[in-house]
């Protein structure tokens, strides 16, 4: 039987934090149990009912806090997400400040491919959630960052639309398909994403 795991909660930028001590304890227990279950069985076998039972909390508590399996998956996308966000917000160039915006866009997108691949099972699970859960949280942080850079690189275009367009091919299901069915390596996927970024950020002739 799976037991509770000792550990600490690692926050993800853009996600709300619990306000009460009991809520924080319950959230931590749920995340720890879910992480252990995924390690033992895989993300596709994750059951919120089983997580609640093993964490000794009510099923309603799990559903209220996380909504669905995808919501719980986002909560499990842990310190690596925080480190990635810190890197593109304040780290060294070209991912962080100091490089031209077009170079930063390319560095961000190729870095995001590595980010998704590093926790592919969890991203695959997270992406099957509702649009509200999929396009909030980390996605909103990514979109805001990209739109800011694109406004500098392409002042003639709508940066919000371009940000969505550039993020679209960097998703776990497509990357998984490209690797399994197309036979592409991660480096080949990153090269293709880099080509798209270069084409989008190229300034148009007046």
In this predicted model, what pLDDT tens digit does every residue of 158-180 receive, in sequence order? 999 999 999 999 999 999 999 99
* CB 5 within 8 Å of CB 32: yes
pLDDT at position 7: 34
pLDDT at position 5: 32
Supply the mean pLDDT for the chain. 85
The domain covering 79-201 belongs, at the CATH homologous superfamily level, to Tetracycline Repressor, domain 2 (1.10.357.10)
Mean pLDDT throughout 7-32? 63
* pLDDT per residue as tens digits for the range 42-96: 777 888 899 898 889 888 888 888 888 877 877 777 657 888 999 999 999 999 9
**CATH number of the domain at 21-76, please?**
1.10.10.60
Selection from 169, 15, 19, 172 nearest residue 85 by Cα:
15
Answer whether residue 14 shows pLDDT above 60.
no
pLDDT at position 151: 97
Answer whether residue 3 shows pLDDT above 60.
no
Cα→Cα distances 19→7, 119, 185, Å: 19, 28, 43
* CB 103 within 8 Å of CB 109: no
pLDDT class of 127 with cuts at 50, 70, 90: confident
* CB 137 within 8 Å of CB 15: yes
Q: Domain segments of the chain: what residues? A: 21-76, 79-201
pLDDT at position 79: 59
Cα→Cα distances 110→47, 79, 92, 104, 190, Å: 32, 19, 15, 10, 5
């Amino acid at each position: 039987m799976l037991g509770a795991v000792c550990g600490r909660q690692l926050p993800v930028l853009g996600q709300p934090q619990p306000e009460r001590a009991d809520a924080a304890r319950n959230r931590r227990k749920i995340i720890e149990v879910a992480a252990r279950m995924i390690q033992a069985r895989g993300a596709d076998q994750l059951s919120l009912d089983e997580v609640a039972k093993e964490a000794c909390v009510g099923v309603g508590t799990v559903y209220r806090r996380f909504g669905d399996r995808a919501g719980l998956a986002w909560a499990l996308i842990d310190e690596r997400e925080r480190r990635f966000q810190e890197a593109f917000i304040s780290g060294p160039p070209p991912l962080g400040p100091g490089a031209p915006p077009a170079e930063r866009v390319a560095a961000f997108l190729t870095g995001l491919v590595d980010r998704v691949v590093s926790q592919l099972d969890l991203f695959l699970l997270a992406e099957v959630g509702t649009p509200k859960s999929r396009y909030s949280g980390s996605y909103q942080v990514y979109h805001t960052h990209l739109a800011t850079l694109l406004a500098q690189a392409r002042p003639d275009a709508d940066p919000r639309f371009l940000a969505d367009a550039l993020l679209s091919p960097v998703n776990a299901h497509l990357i998984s398909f490209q690797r399994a069915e197309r036979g592409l390596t991660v480096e080949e996927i990153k090269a293709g994403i880099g080509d798209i970024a270069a084409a989008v950020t190229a300034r148009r002739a007046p």
